């Protein structure tokens, strides 16, 4: 009995260690996204003036999670749909970008003291305008792959990016631009960067069993593909 | 008529040119005015944009100055650190803001908001003064201020448009940011009125599909949002529209729309500068705007206009008189002369155009009635020609006895013996007739009543037509028909020349007259007492012989017996052919020679 008790964890650990090998080689894709200044400004809508004060240094814009890296592999993969919550508080959405599978339901919760009129402009069939009163939740299903910008009519700076994809490999970029995609099957793949409501970068990569470390430099002149 | 037509065409062309000029000439000026008005709106829009920018900077500086207030700094620092009672801080900050901005409405401030380092509202003045604690950190202008930026924005919410300025509030030690102050400025009626005063144009502020505020009646600007929406792409590319035209009731407005900056641009917020356009170039509109002063003697070229009109009328009348009335008058005169037989034909070469055609028609009509004999008469003349064994004349109306078939070269018959042979009387010895002796005029028996009536009844009804060369003989004297053509009808003269109906029968030579006329030796014919035709034939024969002598023709070449026989046979032929009662013969001069013509007598 004692021998079985000692062997069981070893056996289980060995199976876990061999699982990727049995299923095929996988690796970790990690890297850094270098955004141009205009994408790091932190403002979508500028007024006439934006000048620094002369007393204290200006702080960098906080990362709001609106830059996401998505890896699209050659092998067909399915991202299971699940409910994804988004909270609107302090006149901003958190997170401001979500990646969901086809058929997923996104829950919009309004924690502000003001109402928000949310919709996908130009696609009422996807998400028609509807007033979201303070403290209420709106659940919206996204059944078709694509990229959708959910906007608030009253407060246009409130923009929520909903990326509906079948790829389970995606990650939000941190304040330093780093990201990490674990358990990526080996083989050719495409890395795409979503930031400020549009695809700003796309790069083909070859994922090896040892993993991949890339630096994605987003050009300022990148072709905006805002949806 | 040619010059008159040319003149009418010229006048019509002139009128067309004048109308065209009236409609077209104002167009370039209209375009120029529109261009100038557009340029004026361009400058106004530029000025408005600069005013917005200056205002934004002014409000940023204003709130930056507010943020340097020590009371505010301490309160916001306390709130940022979580020290102090929020309600107490709220009251403190709100009181301080009111103290700093005592005339908030007077300077156009809708609300002042003080937030701490976390973006939480500590206090606000103006809208929702009692509300505090909620976070505004997500608002971009607030987030920028909390990071150290002084910036502005435009918000469009709850159907209102507000320009916003925000500035950070630093700690007393000036080493960190402890909060921010936000000011929201009225962007409605106040701004529109100020721009109208400064720029001299009307202003409308549009948010989405609503006109937020305007210096014009907003009810008249219902189409403005839709018009701007149609030029959304142009606005996105050029930050403004080109001058557009908006019909506001009966007025035509020229406008330029430009977007507000900031978040409001996403909400389709525009400011629109409008200017009433000058009246259109429609001549009626221009005329409706004319004042009595415009028609004053010194302001309007009355004299040239009057001279021009009079000149045009004068030339037209002159041409009318020269080319129409004058020729018509002359033609009438000639027609009258023709009717009076003073001239033989109208000189149609003097008349051009249609009047010449009328003159030629009159001449042709006269010609036809002069030379064209009625068919029956023509047949009769042909019979006469057959009688005399001569070819009918060209016109079939007369017979030239001189061209008769030459008689055998026998001694000239004695007219009397001829007549006797004709009418059955015993022939005289040839010697009697050969010797030219003074003609003993036979005493002709008085014509019977029927014979008298016949010439009277068969009188030539002669219509004295204008420009007729000779009277026109009717073919049937009793039919009452007249071969008449009214020449005056052809020229539509108001009073055609009167037709003279000559009902006087041709003079029937009496024995006395015959004796007088035959003064020269002529054959004498003794007539047997026969019927009236014999008397008539004798008269005709004698008249014919006398006329031949008078015309200088030979009287000896006519065989009396043959003459009478032919007359008789011709008469019978006419009666048989036309079913008439009798036939009468008369002599006349044709081309200087004696001729005979026959006329059927029906009654």
How high is the ipTM of this complex?
0.84
pLDDT tens digits for range B378-401: 544 554 555 554 444 434 344 444
Residues B328 and B400 in one domain: no
Residues 6 or more apart in contact with residue A48 via CB below 8 angstroms: B52, B53, B56, B57, B152, B261
Which architecture does CATH list for A28-37+64-77+171-222? Sandwich (2.60)
A133-164 in b/e burial notation, b at 16+ Cβ within 10 A? eeeeebebbbeeeebbbbbbbbbbbbbbbbbb
Q: How confident is the model at residue B371 (pLDDT cuts 50, 70, 90)?
A: low
Rounded Cα distance between B563 and B540, Å, is 10
Rama region for B82: left / alpha / beta (φ>0; ψ in -120 to 50; rest): left
Phi, psi angle pair for A190, to nearest 5°: -125, 130
- Mean of the pLDDT values across residues A162-178? 91
> CB of B401 within 8 A of CB of B380?
no
Residues 6 or more apart in contact with residue A225 via CB below 8 angstroms: A198, A199
Residues B415 and B389 in one domain: yes
The mean-pLDDT minimum among B66-70, B195-199, B224-228, B558-562 falls in B558-562
pLDDT at residue number B233:
93
Mean pLDDT of chain A: 85
Q: Is the pLDDT of residue B465 over 90?
A: no
Domain's final residue, options B261, B287, B313? B287
Of B268, B147, B52, B225, whose CA–CA distance to A156 is shortest? B268
Q: How confident is the model at residue B272 (pLDDT cuts 50, 70, 90)?
A: very high
Rounded Cα distance between B89 and B75, Å, is 6
Pick among A53, A63, A110 to test the B interface (most B CBs inside 10 A): A53
Mean pLDDT of chain B: 77
Rounded Cα distance between B595 and B589, Å, is 6
Residues of chain B found within 8 Å of residue A45, distances taken between Cβ atoms: 140, 153, 261-263, 265-266
What distances in angstroms separate CA B457 from CA B452, B461, B506, B600, one per listed residue? 9, 10, 11, 11
Rounded Cα distance between B117 and B102, Å, is 26
- Mean of the pLDDT values across residues B452-472? 38
Q: Is the pLDDT of residue B405 over 60?
A: no
Pick B413 or B148 by higher pLDDT.
Answer: B148
Using the beta-carbon criterion (under 8 Å), do A155 and B141 form an inter-chain contact? no
- Mean of the pLDDT values across residues B125-144? 93
pLDDT at residue number B521:
43
**Which DSSP letter does residue B422 get?**
H
Of A226, A207, A224, A209, whose CA–CA distance to A73 is shortest? A207
pLDDT at residue number B603:
66
Give the burial class of B536: count Cβ atoms within 10 A of its Cβ; 0-12 exposed, 13-18 middle, 19 or more buried: buried
- Mean of the pLDDT values across residues B316-339? 89
Would you say the pTM of this structure is higher than 0.90? no
CATH of the domain spanning A78-166, picked from 3.40.50.720, 3.40.630.30, 2.30.110.10, 2.60.40.420: 2.60.40.420
Q: What percent of chain B has pLDDT over 90?
A: 40
Sign of CA dihedral B223, B53, A157, B167: negative
Q: Nearest C-alpha of chain B: how many angstroms from A101?
A: 28
> CB of B191 within 8 A of CB of B223?
no
Does residue B53 belong to any structural domain of this protein? no
Q: Where in chain A is the domain with CATH 2.60.40.420?
A: 78-166
Q: Is the pLDDT of residue B488 over 90?
A: no
- Mean of the pLDDT values across residues B184-190? 93
- Mean of the pLDDT values across residues B486-510? 41
Of A157, A170, A153, A169, whose CA–CA distance to A196 is shortest? A157
> CB of B133 within 8 A of CB of B86?
yes
Residues B315 and B452 in one domain: no
| Most confident among B111-115, B478-482, B518-522 (mean pLDDT) | B111-115
Q: Which of residues 136-165 of A touch B (CB under 8 A)?
A: 151, 153-158
Pick B254 or B535 by higher pLDDT.
Answer: B254
Q: Where in chain A is the domain with CATH 2.60.40.1120?
A: 28-37+64-77+171-222
Pick A14 or B208 by higher pLDDT.
Answer: B208
Q: Is the pLDDT of residue B195 over 90?
A: yes
Residue in B64, B136, B144 nearest the CB of A50? B144
B185-219 in b/e burial notation, b at 16+ Cβ within 10 A? bbbbeebbeebbeebebbbbbbbbeebbbbbbeee
Coil, helix or strand at residue B483: coil
Coil, helix or strand at residue A77: coil
CA angle B563, B566, B570 (to 5 degrees): 140
Q: How confident is the model at residue A24 (pLDDT cuts 50, 70, 90)?
A: low
Residues B531 and B398 in one domain: yes
Determine the length of chain A: 227
Using the beta-carbon criterion (under 8 Å), do B148 and A46 form an inter-chain contact? no
The mean-pLDDT minimum among B102-111, B342-351, B496-505 falls in B496-505
Residue in B137, B141, B157 nearest the CB of A92? B137
Does A47 reach chain B within 8 Å, measured CB to CB? yes
Domain count, chain B: 4
Rounded Cα distance between A97 and A162, Å, is 6
- Mean of the pLDDT values across residues A179-191? 91
Domain that holds residue B37: 2-45+191-287
Q: What percent of chain B has pLDDT over 70?
A: 73
Q: Is the pLDDT of residue A117 over 50?
A: yes
Pick B76 or B414 by higher pLDDT.
Answer: B76
pLDDT tens digits for range B510-530: 444 444 444 444 444 444 445
Q: Which of residues 179-218 of A touch B (CB under 8 A)?
A: none
Give the burial class of B474: count Cβ atoms within 10 A of its Cβ; 0-12 exposed, 13-18 middle, 19 or more buried: buried
What CATH number has the domain bearing residue B167? 3.30.450.20
């Amino acid at each position: 009995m004692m021998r079985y008790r000692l062997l069981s964890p070893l056996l289980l650990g060995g199976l876990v260690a061999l699982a990727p090998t049995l299923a095929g080689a996988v690796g970790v894709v990690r890297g850094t996204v270098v955004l141009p200044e205009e994408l790091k400004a932190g403002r979508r809508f500028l007024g006439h003036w934006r000048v620094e004060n002369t007393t204290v240094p200006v702080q960098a814009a906080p990362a709001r999670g609106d830059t996401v890296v998505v890896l699209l592999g050659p092998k067909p993969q399915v991202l299971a749909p699940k409910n994804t919550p988004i909270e609107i508080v302090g006149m901003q959405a958190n997170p401001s970008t979500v990646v969901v599978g086809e058929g997923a339901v996104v829950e919009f919760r309004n924690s502000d003291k003001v109402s928000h009129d949310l919709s996908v402009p130009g696609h009422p069939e996807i998400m028609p305008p509807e007033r979201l009163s303070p403290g209420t939740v709106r659940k919206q299903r996204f059944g078709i792959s694509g990229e959708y910008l959910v906007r608030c009519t009253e407060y246009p700076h409130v923009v929520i990016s909903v990326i509906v994809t079948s790829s389970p490999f995606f990650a939000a970029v941190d304040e330093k631009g780093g990201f990490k995609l674990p358990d990526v099957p080996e083989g050719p793949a495409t890395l795409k960067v979503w930031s400020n409501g549009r695809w700003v970068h796309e790069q083909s990569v070859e994922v090896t069993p040892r993993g991949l470390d890339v630096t994605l430099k987003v050009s300022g002149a990148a072709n905006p593909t805002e949806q | 008529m040619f010059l008159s037509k040319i003149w009418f065409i010229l006048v019509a062309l002139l009128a067309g040119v004048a109308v065209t000029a009236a409609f077209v000439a104002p167009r370039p000026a209209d375009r120029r005015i529109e261009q100038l008005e557009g340029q004026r709106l361009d400058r106004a829009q530029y000025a408005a944009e600069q005013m917005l920018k200056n205002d934004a900077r002014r409000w940023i500086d204003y709130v930056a100055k507010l943020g340097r207030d020590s009371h505010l700094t301490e309160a916001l620092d306390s709130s940022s650190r979580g020290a102090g009672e929020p309600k107490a801080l709220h009251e403190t900050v709100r009181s301080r803001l009111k103290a700093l901005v005592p005339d908030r409405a007077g300077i156009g401030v809708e609300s002042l908001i003080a937030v701490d380092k976390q973006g939480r509202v500590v206090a606000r003045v103006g809208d929702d003064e009692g509300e505090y604690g909620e976070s505004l950190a997500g608002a971009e202008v607030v987030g920028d201020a909390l990071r150290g930026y002084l910036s502005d924005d435009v918000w469009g919410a709850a159907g209102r448009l507000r320009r916003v300025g925000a500035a950070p509030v630093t700690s007393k030690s000036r080493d960190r940011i402890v909060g921010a102050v936000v000011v929201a400025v009225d962007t409605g009626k106040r701004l529109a009125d100020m721009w109208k005063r400064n720029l001299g144009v009307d202003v409308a502020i549009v948010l989405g599909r609503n006109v937020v505020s305007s210096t014009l009646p907003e009810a008249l600007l219902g189409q403005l949002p839709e018009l701007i929406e149609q030029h959304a792409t142009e606005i996105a590319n050029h930050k403004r529209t080109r001058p557009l035209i908006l019909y506001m009731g009966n007025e035509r407005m020229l406008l330029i729309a430009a977007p507000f900056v900031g978040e409001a641009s996403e909400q389709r917020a525009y400011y629109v500068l409008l200017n009433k356009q000058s009246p259109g170039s429609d001549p009626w509109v221009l005329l409706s705007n004319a004042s009595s002063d415009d028609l004053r003697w010194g302001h309007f070229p009355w004299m040239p206009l009057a001279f021009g009109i009079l000149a045009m009328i004068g030339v037209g009348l002159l041409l009318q008189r020269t080319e129409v009335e004058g020729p018509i008058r002359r033609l009438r005169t000639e027609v009258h002369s023709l009717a009076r037989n003073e001239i033989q034909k109208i000189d149609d070469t003097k008349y051009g155009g249609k009047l010449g055609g009328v003159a030629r028609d009159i001449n042709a009509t006269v010609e036809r009635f002069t030379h064209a004999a009625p068919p029956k008469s023509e047949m009769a003349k042909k019979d006469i020609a057959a009688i005399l064994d001569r070819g009918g004349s060209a016109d079939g109306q007369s017979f030239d006895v001189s061209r008769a078939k030459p008689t055998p070269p026998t001694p000239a018959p004695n007219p009397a013996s001829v007549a006797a042979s004709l009418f059955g009387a015993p022939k005289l010895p040839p010697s009697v007739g050969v010797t030219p002796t003074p003609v003993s005029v036979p005493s002709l028996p008085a014509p019977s009543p029927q014979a008298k009536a016949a010439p009277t009844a068969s009188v030539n009804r002669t219509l004295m037509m204008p420009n007729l060369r000779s009277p026109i003989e009717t073919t049937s004297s009793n039919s009452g028909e007249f071969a008449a053509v009214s020449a005056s009808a052809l020229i539509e003269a108001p009073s055609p020349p009167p037709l003279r109906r000559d009902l006087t029968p041709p003079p029937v030579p009496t024995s006395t007259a015959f004796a007088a006329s035959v003064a020269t030796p002529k054959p004498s014919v003794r007539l047997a007492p026969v019927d009236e035709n014999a008397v008539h034939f004798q008269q005709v024969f004698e008249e014919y012989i006398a006329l031949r002598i008078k015309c200088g023709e030979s009287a000896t070449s006519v065989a009396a017996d043959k003459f009478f026989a032919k007359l008789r046979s011709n008469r019978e032929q006419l009666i048989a052919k036309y079913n008439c009662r009798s036939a009468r013969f008369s002599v006349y001069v044709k081309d200087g020679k004696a001729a005979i013509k026959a006329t059927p007598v029906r009654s």
